[in-house]
């Protein structure tokens, strides 16, 4: 097994200083430079696809099909940000011409531009070794904004992280850009991650991971002499609301597909459905039976890390300790079975509302069915869950008072509301929002997926009565 050097605090300091130096020139780069870099990074992933996917699979057990698709997505979003930069997204500005006269009508010439914030700390996620790692969406959006990046590697795909970082550095060198533009540090989050966030030259941090880890890093970001933005995507239970109208039309089909969503990637998606709200009555009974049967035959694979498997087993055990919860599918895995078995249990709305521990995410192929009687109980359950990346609502096709109330409740707690399909799978596009009220994310006004993600790393500045040479830059920082 290949061993990789663990960073020291001195290594973190050196990497951040190199990133700060690189930022001085890259921050004023134009669209052509940034777009060429992003496209070059996409190309180097594709050129090295075979060995990268093989390495990623050996470390994550996610399988070549899933990993090839994820590599495609990563290259797609790198090229997508390149196109957005060329279209002027990073250089958008508001030109407010001078108006003669006294205030409040009269005012000087003001141009509101945006400048890159500075070196960004980026934390790789365990469950997306390409798309949320070294060259994932956080890195792509930060580079598009004109920032340098220091990546904290994830121990779950350490070899892949170092390999991709090396390929990226080759691209940067070939294009004549400063070597410190993309750095990598590796080591325990409690030491190296905190040191990275606390470094005075770091100006923002982006994180996808656990609530516990994210809150520790956010505390470090806020506790600095100069606090910085911490863009954390933390925990989410992603409720699915199955209304009677949907179950009447295609309940069996929805149950089968929902089982696939719950077990996709062995449930190791931040958008995996964790709570399913099903109406009381015969149609709901049939749906729950169909869902249980579909999950019983579902295939899973080894989880990303032993710690993640331990957390899944402990979470299911904690759920099972709730006396009002009825197990529907809770057969434990055999001692020598590396793959976890899906977990499904059922409870009524009142029981769910009274047990806070049932509201917490269990990361893996597990879900709780909550039986509800009427829209008021549905809304009560959603409100109890709190912030979530997604809420899925099936059957709200007519503008009834109940459906309007339900959509308002879903929008209140989630960053994305679906009316068809399943929450797993997050499109990389301009209309996407991947965030939500806490604990889904620490800054719910921002997204970590989609082209609006670069807004996190741009800070507004108003230029008053600026000289013509500065206006001629058309939003490109000086």
Active site residues: 233, 270
Q: Spell out the SS3 assignment of the chain.
A: CCCCCCCCHHHHHHHHHHHHHHHHHHCCCCHHHHHHHHHHHHHHHHHCHHHHHHHHHHHHCCCHHHHHHHHHHHHHHHHHHHHHHHCCHHHCCEEECCECCCCCCCECCEEEEEEECCCEEEECCCCCCCCCCCCCHHHHHHHHHCCCEEEECCHHHHHHHHHHHHHHHHHHHHCCCCHHHEEEECCCHHHHHHHHHHCCCCCEEEEECCHHHHHHHHHHHHHCCCCCCEEEECCCCCCEEECHHHHHHHHHHHHHHHHHHHHHHHHCCCCCCCEEEEECCHHHHHHHHHHHHHHHCCCCCCCCCHHHHHHHHHHHHHHHCCCCCEEEECCCCCCCCCCCCCEEEEEEHHHHHCCHHHHCCCCCCEEEEEEECCHHHHHHHHHHHCCEEEEEEECCCCCCHHHHHHHHHHHHHEEEEECCCCCCCCCCCCCCCCCCCCCCECCCCCCCCCHHHHHHHEEEEEEECCCHHHHCCCCCCC
d(CA 343, CA 332): 9
């Amino acid at each position: 097994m290949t061993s990789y050097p663990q960073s020291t605090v001195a290594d973190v300091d050196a990497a951040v200083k190199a990133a700060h130096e690189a930022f001085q020139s890259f921050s004023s780069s134009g669209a052509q430079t940034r777009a060429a870099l992003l496209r070059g990074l996409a190309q180097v992933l594709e050129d090295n696809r075979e060995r990268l996917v093989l390495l990623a699979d050996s470390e994550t057990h996610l399988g070549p099909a899933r990993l090839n698709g994820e590599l495609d997505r990563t290259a797609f979003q790198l090229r997508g940000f390149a196109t957005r930069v060329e279209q002027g997204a990073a250089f958008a500005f508001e030109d407010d011409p001078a108006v003669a006269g006294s205030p409040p009508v009269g005012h000087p010439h003001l141009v509101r531009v945006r400048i890159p914030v500075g070196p960004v700390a980026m934390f790789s996620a365990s469950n997306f070794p390409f798309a949320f790692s070294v060259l994932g969406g956080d890195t792509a959006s930060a580079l598009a904004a004109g920032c340098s990046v220091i990546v904290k590697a994830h121990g779950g795909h350490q070899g892949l992280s170092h390999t991709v970082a090396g390929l990226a550095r080759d691209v940067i060198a070939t294009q004549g850009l400063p070597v410190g533009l993309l750095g990598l540090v590796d080591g325990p989050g409690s030491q190296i991650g905190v040191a990275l966030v606390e470094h005075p030259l770091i100006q923002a941090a982006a994180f996808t991971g656990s609530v516990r880890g994210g809150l520790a890093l956010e505390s470090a970001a806020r506790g600095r002499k100069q606090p910085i933005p911490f863009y954390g995507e933390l925990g989410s239970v992603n409720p699915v609301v199955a209304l009677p109208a949907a179950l009447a039309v295609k309940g069996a089909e929805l149950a089968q597909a929902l089982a696939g969503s719950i077990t996709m990637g062995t449930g190791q998606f931040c958008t995996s459905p964790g709570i399913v709200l099903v109406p009381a009555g015969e149609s709901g009974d049939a749906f729950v039976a169909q869902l249980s049967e579909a999950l019983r035959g579902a295939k899973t694979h080894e989880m990303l890390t032993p710690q993640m498997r331990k957390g899944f087993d402990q979470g299911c055990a904690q759920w099972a300790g709730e006396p009002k919860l009825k197990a529907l599918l809770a057969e434990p895995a055999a001692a020598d079975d590396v793959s976890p078995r899906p977990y499904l249990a059922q409870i009524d709305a009142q029981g769910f509302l009274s047990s806070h521990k049932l509201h917490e995410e269990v990361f893996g192929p597990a879900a709780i069915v909550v039986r509800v009687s009427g829209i008021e109980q549905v809304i009560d359950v959603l409100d109890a869950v709190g912030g979530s990346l997604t809420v899925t609502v099936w059957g709200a096709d007519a503008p009834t008072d109940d459906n309007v109330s339900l959509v308002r409740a879903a929008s209140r707690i989630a960053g994305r509301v679906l009316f068809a399909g399943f929450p797993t799978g997050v499109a990389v596009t301009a209309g996407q929002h991947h965030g939500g009220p806490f604990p889904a994310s620490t800054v719910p006004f921002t997204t970590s997926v989609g082209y609006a993600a670069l807004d996190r790393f741009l800070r507004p500045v108003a230029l008053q009565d600026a000289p013509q040479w500065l206006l001629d830059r058309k939003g490109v920082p000086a």
